[in-house]
Amino acid sequence: MDIAHHAYADVVVVTPAGRLDHTNAGDFERALLPLLEPGGRATAGVVLDFAGVDYISSVGLRVLMIAGKTMRARNARIAVTGLQPIVAEIFAISRFNGVVEIFADVPAALAAISPAAAAARAAGAKDGGA
Amino acid sequence: MTAAAPHDAPAARIGRIRLAGALLVAGLTGLVALAPAWTAPLREAWFDALQRARPRAVHTMPATIVEIDARSLAAIGRWPWPRSVLADLVERIAAQQPAALALDILMPEPDPLSPERLLRDATPAAAAALAALPANDTLLARALAAAPSVLAVAGMPEPTGVTLRAPSFVVQGSDDAASLPLLRYPGALASVEPINAAAAGWGLVSVDARDGVVRRLPLVAEVGGTLVPALAVEMVRVAARARALRLVARGAAVHGLAIGEALVATEPDAHVRVHFSPRHAARFVSAVDVLQGRADAAALRQKLVLVAATGLGLGDYHVTALGERMPGAEIHAQLLESLFDGTLLRRPPWAALVEAAAVALLGALVVWTTPLWTPRAAAAVALGSVAGVLAVAWGAFAAQRLLLDAATPAAGAALAFGAMLVMTLGEATRHRRALERVVQRQREHAARVAGELDAARRIQMASLPHAALLADEPRVDVAAAMQTAREVGGDLYDFFRLDGRHLFFLIGDVAGKGLPASIFMAVSKALCKSAALRAGLPDAGELMSTANAEISRDNRELLFVSAFAGVLDLDTGVLAYCNAGHDNPLRLPADGSAPVRVTDGDGPPLCVVDGHAYRGATLRMQPGEALCLVTDGVSEAHDRDGALYGSARLETLLRALPAGSRDASAIVEAIRDGVASFVRGAEASDDLTVLVVRWRGRDARA
Contact B608 A96 (CB under 8 A): yes
Contact A94 B558 (CB under 8 A): no
Determine whether B110 is exposed, middle or buried from the number of CB atoms within 10 Å of its CB (0-12, 13-18, 19+). middle
Tell me which chain B residue has its CA closest to the CA of residue A66: B558
Q: How far off is chain A from B604, nearest CA to CA, in Å? A: 5
Q: Are residues B664 and B636 part of one domain? A: yes
Out of B296, B322, B341, a domain closes at B341
Q: Are residues B516 and B664 part of one domain? A: yes
In a domain, B470, yes or no: yes
In a domain, B672, yes or no: yes
Q: Which residues of B touch A61 (CB under 8 A)?
A: 511, 560, 605
In a domain, B336, yes or no: yes
Which portions of chain B are predicted below pLDDT 50?
1-7
Q: Which pLDDT tens digit goes with each residue over B238-249?
A: 999 988 899 999
Cα(B498)–Cα(A71) distance, integer angstroms: 40
CATH architecture entry for A4-115: 2-Layer Sandwich (3.30)
Q: Are residues B23 and B68 part of one domain? A: no
Contact B562 A58 (CB under 8 A): yes
In a domain, B365, yes or no: yes
Cα(B238)–Cα(B561) distance, integer angstroms: 120
User: Residue type at B602?
Assistant: D
In the stretch 128-187 of chain B, residues with CB closer than 8 A to chain A read: none
Cα(A94)–Cα(B12) distance, integer angstroms: 54
Q: Are residues B210 and B106 part of one domain? A: yes
DSSP for chain A, written as a single string:
---EEEEETTEEEEE--EEESTTTHHHHHHHHGGGGSTTSSTTSEEEEE-TTEEEE-HHHHHHHHHHHHHHHHTT-EEEEE---HHHHHHHHHTTGGGTSEEESSHHHHHHHH-HHHHHHHHHHHHTT--
Q: How far off is chain B from A39, nearest CA to CA, in Å? A: 23
Q: Are residues B532 and B473 part of one domain? A: yes
Strand (E) positions, B329-475? none
Residue B167 backbone phi and psi in degrees, to 5: -70, 160
Count of alpha carbons within 13 angstroms of residue B170, beta-carbon side: 9
Bridge pairing between strands A11-15 and A45-49: parallel
Q: What is the H or E stretch that residue B391 is in?
A: helix B375-400
On whether the CB atoms of residues B223 and B217 are closer than 8 A, the answer is no
Q: Are residues B286 and B232 part of one domain? A: yes
Cα(B5)–Cα(B43) distance, integer angstroms: 48
Q: Output the pLDDT for position B596.
A: 92
Determine whether B612 is exposed, middle or buried from the number of CB atoms within 10 Å of its CB (0-12, 13-18, 19+). buried
Contact A95 B604 (CB under 8 A): yes
Determine whether B196 is exposed, middle or buried from the number of CB atoms within 10 Å of its CB (0-12, 13-18, 19+). buried
Q: Which residues of B touch A98 (CB under 8 A)?
A: 603-604, 609
On whether the CB atoms of residues B188 and B153 are closer than 8 A, the answer is yes
Q: Which pLDDT tens digit goes with each residue over B174-208?
A: 877 788 899 999 999 999 888 989 999 999 998 87
| Residue B582 domain boundaries | 465-695
Contact A95 B560 (CB under 8 A): no
Pick A93's closest partner by Cβ from B512, B584, B608.
B584
Q: Output the pLDDT for position A126.
A: 53
Q: Output the pLDDT for position B399.
A: 92
Q: Domain-by-domain residue ranges, chain A?
A: 4-115
Q: Are residues B219 and B188 part of one domain? A: yes
Q: Are residues B132 and B43 part of one domain? A: no
Cα(B245)–Cα(B201) distance, integer angstroms: 12
Q: How far off is chain B from A118, nearest CA to CA, in Å? A: 28
Cα(B26)–Cα(B19) distance, integer angstroms: 10
Cα B82 to Cα B89, B112, B127, B522, distances in angstroms: 11, 8, 18, 129
* Interface-testing mutation among A19, A61, A93, A102, with chain B (most B C-beta atoms within 10 A): A93
Cα B636 to Cα A17, B656, B685, distances in angstroms: 20, 21, 9
Contact A65 B560 (CB under 8 A): yes
User: Residue type at B252?
Assistant: A
**In DSSP terms, which residues pair with B156 in a beta bridge?**
B187
Cα(B507)–Cα(B619) distance, integer angstroms: 18
Q: How far off is chain A from B452, nearest CA to CA, in Å? A: 24
Q: Which residues of B touch A62 (CB under 8 A)?
A: 511-512, 558-560
Which residues does B145 contact at the CB level (< 8 Å), separation at least 6? B198, B199
Cα(A98)–Cα(B580) distance, integer angstroms: 11
**In DSSP terms, which residues pair with B155 in a beta bridge?**
B188
ipTM value: 0.89
Cα(B635)–Cα(B649) distance, integer angstroms: 8
In the stretch 641-680 of chain B, residues with CB closer than 8 A to chain A read: none
Cα B583 to Cα B339, B531, B564, B625, B685, distances in angstroms: 111, 21, 8, 19, 17
In a domain, B218, yes or no: yes
CATH number for the domain harbouring residue B485: 3.60.40.10
Question: Quick check: A60 contacting B, CB < 8 Å?
Answer: no
Q: Which residues of B touch A93 (CB under 8 A)?
A: 581-584
Question: Quick check: A94 contacting B, CB < 8 Å?
Answer: yes
Cα(A96)–Cα(A84) distance, integer angstroms: 15
Q: Are residues B336 and B422 part of one domain? A: no
Residues B544, B545, B550, B553, CA torsion sign = positive
Cα B352 to Cα B264, B364, B596, distances in angstroms: 21, 18, 100
Q: Which pLDDT tens digit goes with each residue over B508-521?
A: 999 877 788 888 88
Cα B74 to Cα B134, B247, B327, B511, B519, distances in angstroms: 26, 44, 19, 122, 120
Count of alpha carbons within 13 angstroms of residue A19, beta-carbon side: 6
Q: Is residue A98 very low, low, confident or very high in pLDDT (cuts 50, 70, 90)? A: confident
Angle among Cα B674, B680, B681 to the nearest 5 degrees reads: 120
Q: Output the pLDDT for position B5.
A: 43
Query: Whose CA is closest to B219, among B210, B208, B209?
Result: B208
Tell me which chain A residue has its CA closest to the CA of residue B583: A93
Residue B568 backbone phi and psi in degrees, to 5: -105, 125
Strand (E) positions, B163-280? 168-172, 183-185, 187-189, 201-204, 213-214, 216-218, 220-223, 226-229, 244-250, 253-259, 262-265, 271-273
Cα B483 to Cα A60, B382, B660, B683, distances in angstroms: 22, 61, 26, 12
Angle among Cα B267, B270, B274 to the nearest 5 degrees reads: 70
Pick B511's closest partner by Cβ from A59, A68, A95.
A59
Question: Quick check: B514 contacting A, CB < 8 Å?
Answer: no
User: Residue type at B399?
Assistant: A
Please count the residues of chain B. 702
Out of B294, B318, B341, a domain closes at B341
* Interface-testing mutation among A36, A70, A95, with chain B (most B C-beta atoms within 10 A): A95
In a domain, B700, yes or no: no
Question: Quick check: B583 contacting A, CB < 8 Å?
Answer: yes
On whether the CB atoms of residues B367 and B420 are closer than 8 A, the answer is yes
Tell me which chain B residue has its CA closest to the CA of residue A21: B512
Q: What is the H or E stretch that residue B376 is in?
A: helix B375-400
Which residues does B5 contact at the CB level (< 8 Å), separation at least 6? none
Cα(B363)–Cα(B194) distance, integer angstroms: 63
Q: Output the pLDDT for position A130.
A: 40
On whether the CB atoms of residues B102 and B306 are closer than 8 A, the answer is yes
* Interface-testing mutation among A22, A94, A97, A102, with chain B (most B C-beta atoms within 10 A): A94
On whether the CB atoms of residues B340 and B62 are closer than 8 A, the answer is yes
Core vs surface per residue B485-507: b (16+ CB within 10 A) or e: bebbbbbbbbbeeeeebbbbbbb
Residues B392, B398, B404, B409, CA torsion sign = positive
Tell me which chain A residue has its CA closest to the CA of residue B509: A58
Contact A95 B584 (CB under 8 A): no
Q: Are residues B75 and B31 part of one domain? A: no
On whether the CB atoms of residues B231 and B338 are closer than 8 A, the answer is no
Out of B315, B341, B367, a domain closes at B341
Question: Quick check: B563 contacting A, CB < 8 Å?
Answer: no
Q: What is the CA radius of gyration of chain B?
A: 57
Question: Quick check: B435 contacting A, CB < 8 Å?
Answer: no
Contact A95 B603 (CB under 8 A): yes
Q: Are residues B70 and B48 part of one domain? A: no
Q: Output the pLDDT for position B338.
A: 92
Question: Quick check: B560 contacting A, CB < 8 Å?
Answer: yes
On whether the CB atoms of residues B628 and B566 are closer than 8 A, the answer is no
Cα(B272)–Cα(B48) distance, integer angstroms: 15
Bridge pairing between strands A45-49 and B476-483: unpaired
Q: How far off is chain B from A79, nearest CA to CA, in Å? A: 15
On whether the CB atoms of residues B514 and A59 are closer than 8 A, the answer is no
Cα A78 to Cα A37, A42, A88, B602, distances in angstroms: 14, 10, 16, 21
Residue B562 backbone phi and psi in degrees, to 5: -90, 145
Tell me which chain A residue has its CA closest to the CA of residue B512: A59
Query: Whose CA is closest to B177, among B221, B144, B214?
Result: B221
Cα B371 to Cα B158, B393, B431, B621, distances in angstroms: 58, 28, 13, 78
On whether the CB atoms of residues B619 and B598 are closer than 8 A, the answer is yes
**In DSSP terms, which residues pair with A5 in a beta bridge?**
A14
Contact A96 B583 (CB under 8 A): no
Q: Which residues of B touch A94 (CB under 8 A)?
A: 562, 581-582, 604-605
Q: Output the pLDDT for position B6.
A: 44
Q: How many domains does chain B have?
A: 3
* Interface-testing mutation among B524, B586, B608, B609, with chain A (most A C-beta atoms within 10 A): B608
Q: Are residues B71 and B182 part of one domain? A: yes
